[in-house]
Chain A
């Protein structure tokens, strides 16, 4: 019995070693850097609010806009998180709400409220790398990619940046084969992420264009994602970013989908 366990253990570790040798280096140092970046990007403060504007430009220069308010509350740092996205423009999608209960150990729960159809709809777990409301951002960019899904390797380090290569553990779940992220040491925020596809083409780039310190938290105020294969980009600007507003937990409920919490959405007055 014991022997069997030991053999099992040996076999498993050999397998794991073989896997990492063939498949991917996973570097603890790199992982901890990425985790710090995750913390800075998605978990600053205990809660937060910002007003976002999105300008979606296609390859021919045609534009669309989206405007929404994001409310966020952390259940646990780098752990579960509540997220609500309230759309205000274009006016015909006003009061559409997107609600996420983010989990680290299981799939996120996602809901949608469409006021025009008076319909609350749950979004199935599954592919999170679909377009976020027609933009070049994915749902996953909004809620954050789970760091457990990738292997990391520190490629380079200088005074300003860590350059880390990430390879997905499950290649079939994503459209990239690896990405390279530059994390700024001063803010611990990703400055640039470049994605490569199966043909090793650099096809997608996410950049933080403007970072400011708000309430002691380095905060991305302007980011852009570009489709390098087809042309087109989405710019996202965040304004009126505030942390630790003391958002009540009840706010992140199904009830708020149908009756938006005006008090917390009102930035002024």
Chain B
């Protein structure tokens, strides 16, 4: 066992060193702060190695998709007014002037093409609205043109024609908050005319995420100091001695600064989770000090030797404090079992921060108190917070009486609560939505609501259909087959050898390689060569071309028709506002190539016909739009789903529906499908989080139980110690299920870590109960004694932690509020549960258990 006496004296005697070293460490940590980097990208909830995330990013790259802001203009009458449209043009032009946007992909009435038959039998691409319409007639003309184009309808102009959007793709999504603000400022500068009733909104997941990051900073700047202040006031209420309570404040601040400084110095980004580190550490760091100070003020008498009293206190508290610190940190460390990097970082740093706070309490507190003058210390005794007639004392005593009677009823109550909790937990709905991280009156929430009311949806998910076949090998075979059958001129042979070489390169692009070879073969055919070699080169070129044509599944009308059917089905689910695909493009262009009327809104009947239709589509002002829906080799095609809800549960349902559909209507042979898009990715990390949390929770449960068993050297006490907090946590989650609050990220994360914090009560209670029982050898007396000083200490600590978290209730962001409410209630409930449950559960068995 550690010689705490020597330890304590050592630190007291070298207290100058203690102070200077602590100051140096804190200063070193503090100077790391300017290097802080925030990260609000929910994508980072998944590790960069995650397959779904990698696939999502690969899809974004393949189809040149960028995260987009969605700017909306709403006019309660109609957007087809020259004035409103003029503003839309102006704002679009302003946006095009920004460096942070992908210019060619800005989607607005002012940037898209109209494809039409200006005169019968002709076809034309023209800007839909390059300049603002000067008359109502022109505005109405635009209106009728838009209504003919399925791509624009309900995407950039709402069905009710009261809203229009500008999709602003960003080169780097991390600039979305800045870009959104620039646009907002510009829009505000437009709003000089008070007569119009156009309203502007800005939404889109990237802006929500980036804005969240911004507010997170504000939040950290407010909540953490506020938590410090609340704790300071509480300590003042308990001890009424400023120099005395300065010590725990120093410990709390030092813990927070060192932990955060280390996190920043290690290069970790501050994520939504890690931004809460300060607010978690502060109350927990103070708890050990509260025990220490209470114990000290109980034992310090006038004229006693400060050093001796301190040494005694350290000796008595070292073990329980160590164990409670270890169990608390285990609660946080258990988050390492959840495969969500920001959650792991949070767990690791808070866990370590708790151990640091313990070390500081043991090292710094004695050194600090030993240098206080005796006048200060004597004042402390006058207001002993543990006085037996305080308000807390009375309530705690009554508690004890209730707990120690009516055992049978209590058992029934516990069983009933378990039942209700089980029922509630079964009702829990797992769901999250980053936009809901803002309060309902936040401009982002309002924009989200308004735009999704008018439009088919601003949440994106993608279905990618593909035909994954290894064509490379087939081509190599064709080539070597050809080479072996014919005698080829050396230039010809070289072309084929290089072709095979290029095909064998790991990152070769098949279509490009074939195209290059076709060019080379053609060049060869113009050399001075024999008829036979010419014919051979043409034959081989033809073989290659045929091969290429046959490996372009998405020029095949039957495959496009499958996509169209799937889209039609999606429309019937009521979950997908709208979907856009290659099939829509082909049908629209085909219509304009033919009669222009709806009977020609169909797919042409051959691959070349589709290819030629698309060649026409590419003759617009925006030829690159095609490549958002199909790859250049036509082997992959993307269906863009617009969802009106960013709720993960809705995304899940869409996936289920698509699965069902595909099960009933099998994909064309050899075809495969995958999901991508932000809405999908959010669902994936949520799933991993839920599964991971189960691991964390069970991991923490087992470890804490083992430590309890080790501490009490008894499995029975270990089990009893786990009971109150298990019931509390089950109860809280049961209530969440019953009131229908979604089980989202903050709620998931809290389950495991509260286990570690709330077991502290049980540790202190059982430890003291065993001592009391041994001394008094009478159950009722022991329990009565328990509801004196130990009961008050537990109550006080529960109050410190619970109230310490309440500043979170004033946070502007919902997850922080959730954390605040949940932690405060778990602390309160598990303190009550501990005080009631342990006596009443043990009562019938106390003789057997204690002897």
Contacts and interface: CB of A to CB of B under 8 A. Distances in A.
State whether these chains interact: yes
Interface stretch (B114-122, B485-493, B830-838): B114-122
Interface string B606-640: 11111111011011111110110000100000000
B158 to A, nearest CB: 27
Contacts of B117: 124
Contacts of B608: 92-94, 115-116
A91 B549 contact: yes
A127 B616 contact: no
A172 B619 contact: no
A90 B618 CA distance: 14
Given A89-B518, A198-B93, A96 B612 contact: yes
Nearest to A117: B609
Most chain A CB atoms below 10 A, which of B525, B549, B593, B623: B623
A127 B122 contact: no
B127 A92 contact: no
A210 B502 CA distance: 28
B632 A62 contact: yes
Interface string A130-160: 1111110001000000000000000000000
A114 B612 contact: yes
Contact of A117 (B509, B613, B619): B613
B534 interface: yes
A269 B97 contact: no
Nearest to B529: A268
B612 A117 contact: yes
B13 interface: no
A216 interface: no
Interface in A196-215: 198-199
A230 B117 CA distance: 30
B141 interface: no
Interface string B532-564: 001000000000011011001001000000000
B624 A121 contact: no
A89 to B, nearest CB: 7
Given A53-B519, A89-B518, A229-B103, A63 B512 contact: yes
B179 to A, nearest CB: 16
Contact of A60 (B64, B555, B618): B64
B102 interface: yes
A23 interface: no
Given A116-B606, A116-B609, A92 B555 contact: yes
A131 B626 CA distance: 13
B508 interface: no
Contact of B619 (A91, A126, A131): A131
B627 A58 contact: yes
Interface in A51-88: 53, 58-60, 62-65
A122 interface: yes
A117 to B, nearest CB: 5
Contacts of B609: 114, 116-117
A112 interface: yes
Contacts of B127: 127
B123 A268 contact: no
B525 A268 contact: yes
A227 B103 CA distance: 11
A119 B97 contact: no
Given A92-B612, A198-B93, A58 B512 contact: no
Most chain B CB atoms below 10 A, which of A60, A64, A172, A232: A64
Contacts of A11: none
A63 B515 contact: yes
A133 B130 contact: no
Interface residues of B, number: 60
A240 interface: yes
Given A60-B64, A112-B616, A172-B131, A134 B626 contact: yes
B135 interface: no
Nearest to B592: A121
Contacts of B131: 172
Nearest to A111: B122
A117 B593 contact: yes
A53 B608 CA distance: 20
A93 B130 contact: no
B124 A126 contact: yes
Most chain A CB atoms below 10 A, which of B117, B515, B549, B620: B515
B534 A131 contact: no
Given A92-B552, A117-B593, A121-B122, A131 B620 contact: yes
Contacts of A127: 124-127, 621
A123 interface: yes
Contacts of B622: 131
Interface in B665-700: none
B620 A90 contact: no
Contacts of B511: 63
B501 interface: no
Given A112-B616, A133-B618, A229-B103, A91 B548 contact: yes
A245 interface: no
Contacts of A198: 93
A269 B621 CA distance: 40
A50 B548 CA distance: 26
A92 B620 contact: no
A10 interface: no
Nearest to B61: A60
B600 to A, nearest CB: 11
Interface string B707-731: 0000000000000000000000000
B804 interface: no
A260 to B, nearest CB: 15
B593 A90 contact: no
A18 interface: no
B97 A90 contact: no
What 9 pairs between A and B have smallest CB-CB spacing? A134-B618, A116-B609, A116-B608, A124-B124, A92-B611, A91-B545, A124-B118, A131-B623, A134-B623
Given A89-B518, A130-B619, A133-B618, 19 more contacts: A58-B64, A91-B548, A93-B611, A93-B615, A94-B608, A114-B615, A116-B611, A117-B604, A123-B123, A124-B117, A124-B118, A127-B126, A129-B621, A130-B113, A134-B615, A172-B130, A240-B526, A268-B525, A268-B526
Interface of A: 53, 58-60, 62-65, 89-94, 96, 112, 114-117, 119, 121-124, 126-127, 129-135, 139, 172, 198-199, 227, 229-230, 232, 240, 267-269
10 contacts: A58-B627, A63-B512, A91-B549, A92-B607, A116-B612, A122-B122, A124-B119, A124-B123, A127-B125, A269-B534
